[in-house]
Amino acid sequence: MLEVRELRKSFGNNEVIKGIDLDVNDGEVVAVIGPSGSGKTTMLRCISFLEKADHGMIRLDEHQSDIVTISKKQIHEMRMHMGFVFQAFNLFANKTALGNVMAPLTIARRMNTDRAREMAMGLLKKVGMDQRARYYPGQLSGGQQQRVAIARALASGPSVVLFDEPTSALDPELTGEVLDVMKQLAAEGTTMVVVTHEMQFAREAANKVVFMDNGVIWEQGEAGAFFEQPKTERALQFLRKQ
Amino acid sequence: MQILLQSFTKILIPGIKVTIPLTLASFALGFAIALFLALVQVARVPVLSKFARIYIWIFRGTPLLVQLFIIFFGLPSVGIILDAFPSAVIAFGMNLGAYNAEVLRSAIQAVPVGQSEAAALIGMSYPQTMIHIVLPQAFPIAFPPLFNSLIGLVKDTSLASSITVIELFTTAQQIAARTFEPFALYCEAAVIYLMICTLLTWLQAWLEKKMVWRTPEDQLTG
């Protein structure tokens, strides 16, 4: 499980995260929605330590730390139990699809190559990319790259996978294949936090919805109830625009 | 005509035996220095990155010929005596290191930062990220300008003639002085430099074709 308490982050004088609490239980799929610029992506980047937060506490399974004073070693420890999927895929351009999925195992964990290849092929099969294992990212479509990136994020067997607008950089006809993979993961009980603009996905695949605006979580709760009857005026207005 | 034919091998042999080793040794030293200076800057290593800036400032801001003279003629007066060839290698290498440090730094910075973030998130250390992800992609970006400086270096090695290294141009000078045919001999030297550089240009084109991250179509099926 993932627990975040009192998360704050400013860029200069601009406070973009204003004290956020987030709880993600094992097997839960949490959709984080809200208008652009509401701090959703920054929140994910703080949780994964890509941005240094100004205040907060984080707990991932048995690892717990203050988010500001956390040591490099503890960051590494926590990251080993997180998966992250970027909006821009960020596959390693000098490695094949297979090489990308093997990297967390062979390079970061020094796993034996044969075993890593076997595991990586299994993951590529899961995202429907095993036939493209020998392609380089430049030879794949956006949707295919994102599926490989999901396989890479899963390689280390993470406790939670964070998705940062995974379909926002894709053409509409390619979003479906990525969302299908994510729905499948959700159905298998993968713990996921998904920052998304895909309301359809949030409605269908998420157990819980977190609605953010202006650096604050206004509302969080069971997905069905949220979409049926949002409690706050802001959420209501946001949903009307969708 | 007779003189040209007779002198051709006489100039070519020191060209192959001295100019080419001098070029390669200087380039290797220069590359090592450049990589070091680029990495300490990109990693923002406290004292060393400052040192790198100062080093680059000095070696780019002073003439190569002056650097050569300081090392060969100047250093003996403070008790450091080096032979002509190693003096030339050190001077060319240190000078090239300053220029290529900037080439490598910009190439490293041209690799999308998202890939380094992705590497960190899957648990790779900074050195692992550099070795496995960033440098392999920075190198093809840096390759054309690096090769540019290699070709420039081939010609700059003629400056070593001024500190008594018997290389291609020195030999041409000696024969020109003996035969009173400066026009023919210096043109001949120019042609030999041109030949070496032409070979390098072909090599560059061939190598650049190899440095693309693509699996060939015929290897993808089956």
The pLDDT confidence band at residue B15, using thresholds 50, 70 and 90, is confident
The pLDDT confidence band at residue B217, using thresholds 50, 70 and 90, is confident
ipTM score of complex: 0.94
Q: Is the dihedral of CA B182, B183, B185, B190 positive or negative?
A: positive
**Backbone torsion region of residue A52, taken as left when φ is above 0, otherwise alpha when ψ lies between -120 and 50, otherwise beta:** beta
Q: Do A94 and B118 touch (CB under 8 A)?
A: no
Q: Is B197 on the interface with A (CB under 8 A)?
A: no
Contact present, B52 and B41 (Cβ < 8 Å): yes
Count the Cβ atoms, other than its own, within 10 Å of residue A194.
28
Question: Would the pLDDT of B214 be above 90?
Answer: no
Supply the DSSP string of chain A, one letter for each residue.
-EEEEEEEEEETTEEEEEEEEEEE-TT-EEEEE--TTSSHHHHHHHHTTSS--SEEEEEETTEEEETTT--HHHHHHHHTTEEEE-TT----TTS-HHHHHHHIIIIIS---HHHHHHHHHHHHHHTT-GGGTT--GGGS-HHHHHHHHHHHHHTT--SEEEEESTTTTS-HHHHHHHHHHHHHHHHTT--EEEE-S-HHHHHHH-SEEEEEETTEEEEEEEHHHHHH--SSHHHHHHHHH-
Pairwise CA distance, residues B82 & A62, whole Å? 62
Q: Do A84 and B213 touch (CB under 8 A)?
A: no
Q: Is B126 on the interface with A (CB under 8 A)?
A: no
Token couple for A126:
């899961």
Q: Is A9 on the interface with B (CB under 8 A)?
A: no
The pLDDT value recorded for residue B162 is 94
- Which of residues 134 through 173 in chain A touch B, CB cutoff 8 A? 134-139, 149, 152-153, 155-156
Q: Which of A80, A95, A134 sits opposite B220 (nearest CB)?
A: A134
**Residues spanned by the domain of B141:** 2-220
Q: Is A107 on the interface with B (CB under 8 A)?
A: yes
Burial class (CB in 10 A: 0-12, 13-18, 19+), A128: middle
Tens digits of residue pLDDT in B118-165: 999 999 999 999 999 999 999 999 999 999 999 999 999 999 999 999
How many domains does the structure of chain B reveal? 1
Average pLDDT, stretch A96-121?
96
- Which of residues 71 through 100 in chain B touch A, CB cutoff 8 A? none
Q: Is A92 on the interface with B (CB under 8 A)?
A: yes
Q: Give the chain A residue nearest B121 (alpha carbons).
A: A79
Q: Do A96 and B215 touch (CB under 8 A)?
A: yes
Tens digits of residue pLDDT in A73-103: 999 999 999 999 999 999 999 999 999 999 9
The pLDDT value recorded for residue A201 is 92
Which chain B residues contact residue A134 at CB under 8 A?
215, 219-220
Average pLDDT, stretch B9-32?
93
Q: Is B118 on the interface with A (CB under 8 A)?
A: yes
Count the Cβ atoms, other than its own, within 10 Å of residue A29.
26
Question: Would the pLDDT of B1 be above 80?
Answer: no
List Cα–Cα distances, A190 to A26, A102, A181, A186, B2, in angstroms.
8, 20, 12, 5, 84
Q: Is B117 on the interface with A (CB under 8 A)?
A: yes
Q: Do A50 and B133 touch (CB under 8 A)?
A: no
| Domains present along chain A, CATH in parentheses | 2-81+160-241 (3.40.50.300), 92-157 (no CATH)
Q: Do B213 and A138 touch (CB under 8 A)?
A: yes
Q: Give the chain B residue nearest A77 (alpha carbons).
A: B123
What CATH number corresponds to the domain at position B19?
A: 1.10.3720.10
Tens digits of residue pLDDT in B161-188: 999 999 999 999 999 999 998 999 999 9
Q: Which of A50, A60, A107 is the best residue to mutate to test the B interface, defined by the most B CB atoms within 10 Å of its own CB?
A: A107
Token couple for A217:
């979580």
Token couple for A186:
């959700």
Q: Give the chain B residue nearest A140 (alpha carbons).
A: B214
Average pLDDT, stretch B191-205?
95
The pLDDT value recorded for residue B14 is 86
Q: Give the chain A residue nearest B215 (alpha carbons).
A: A135
Tens digits of residue pLDDT in B34-70: 999 999 999 999 999 999 999 999 999 999 999 999 9
Pairwise CA distance, residues B202 & B141, whole Å? 18
Taking the CA of residue B198 and the nearest CA in chain A, the distance in Å comes to 30
Taking the CA of residue B108 and the nearest CA in chain A, the distance in Å comes to 14
The pLDDT value recorded for residue B221 is 62
A82: β partners:
A160
Pairwise CA distance, residues A164 & A211, whole Å? 15
